[in-house]
Amino acid sequence: MDYILTTDNLTKKYGDKVAAGNINIHIRKGEIYGLIGRNGAGKTTIMRVISGLSAQTSGSYQINDESKRGIGVLIESPGIYANRTAFDNMKIKCIAMNCYSKEHIEDLLKTVGLADTGDKKAGSFSLGMRQRLGIALALAGDPELIVLDEPINGLDPQGIAEIRETLEKLRDEKGITIMVSSHILDELGKIADSYGIINNGELIAEFSKEELLQRCGEYISIHTDDNKKAIEVIRSIGIQSVEMSSDKIRVNDNLDKAAEINKALVDSGLAVDEIHATSLSLEDYYLNLTGGAVHE
């Protein structure tokens, strides 16, 4: 697997408190990796260590960046000079990183949708515009990987949509790998290719979008008076993706065959107590794993 970033039992303690313990993350090159967890779960701690802003207590991380382009970072509020234009903010950052060119800055501002802000000072930008400028600042020097901590926090629906479109463009058009945290799980569910769930400083699950769809996508839920026999009946009519989930049967495909399944079960003498199409969202799955609310 072509991973651009991996961690090996990465641990960060503050005194006796373990903020993040034995974290093993795997981020593939060219994907959006969504880091999920309630406030205080350890998301920011992990991102700060990976970004070099904080030293780990133990464990390690490896950035497999052959081009040595490094990591771009936007953690907490972007460091923006309010009385300067978007271009001037970018110029200051690029000069500090020894990567200044007018063309580079113009390309980055175009990428994040701020090419036409002209002489407008950043202090008068909307929150969404400031966040997009923060992403552009993280992109200075053309990094292979960018780390974004809660970039849509506090944004209105339009601002969230603009950030989402920006991240998709960076992945699809620029090939940039993105690690992004958020507690707005519906939004992460729209853009992320892989996910890691952090709870109380532990990575309790890591899975791809395809695996998430298998676990959370739309399915037919069935309950009968003999579920074991019912599974045999369902498979006998050519439907193989059948499993037990709790005390109910879950059929993961052939969603258009609910009526056919129901008829086969009834014809076999089974009492069908329940049969209907349903689905789990990313948030539902998160709550099932953690047993608690996303927000604290």
Question: What string of H, E and C letters represents the secondary structure of 228-262?
Answer: HHHHHHHHHCCCCCEEEECCEEEECCCHHHHHHHH
Q: Check if the beta carbon of residue 94 is closer than 8 Å to that of residue 141.
A: yes
**Residue 295 above 50 pLDDT?**
no
What does pTM read for this prediction?
Answer: 0.80
Q: What is the pLDDT of residue 68?
A: 64
pLDDT tens-digit series, residues 106-128: 999 999 999 999 999 999 999 99
3-state secondary structure of 209: helix
Determine the pLDDT at residue 121. 97
- What burial class does residue 2 get, using C-beta atoms within 10 Å of its C-beta: 0-12 exposed, 13-18 middle, 19+ buried? exposed
Token couple for 9: 């039992």
pLDDT bucket at 38, cuts 50 / 70 / 90: confident
Mean pLDDT for 206-227 is 86
CA distances from 275 to 243, 263, 266, 267, 270 (A): 14, 11, 12, 15, 13
Encode pLDDT of 239-292 as tens digits.
Answer: 988 988 778 898 877 888 999 999 999 999 999 999 988 877 788 888 878 876
- According to the model, what pLDDT value does residue 282 have? 84
Distances (CA, A) of 108 to 68, 95, 100, 112, 133: 19, 15, 12, 6, 9
State yes or no: pLDDT of 151 exceeds 50: yes
Q: What local confidence, expressed as pLDDT, does residue 213 receive?
A: 76
The CATH fold assigned to 3-212 is: Rossmann fold (3.40.50)
DSSP bridge pairs for 179: 33, 147
pLDDT over 90 at 1, yes or no = no
| Mean pLDDT confidence for 10-23 | 96
Report, as an integer, the average pLDDT of 222-247.
90
Give the pLDDT band (50/70/90) at residue 296: very low
CATH superfamily of this structure's domain 218-278: YebC, transcriptional regulation domain (3.30.70.980)
| pLDDT average, residue stretch 161-188 | 92
Determine the average pLDDT of the residues in 159-172: 94
Span 68-111, pLDDT tens digits? 678 999 998 888 999 999 999 999 999 999 999 999 999 999 99
Mean pLDDT of 155-172: 93
Average pLDDT over the chain, rounded to an integer: 91
Q: Which residue has the tokens 């948030």?
A: 283
Q: Cα 199 to chain center, whole Å? A: 15
Distance set, CA 216 to CA 145, 201, 207, 278, 281 (Å): 28, 24, 12, 10, 6
Q: Where are the domains of the chain?
A: 3-212, 218-278
The residue with tokens 């006998």 is: 236
CA distance 49 to 56: 6
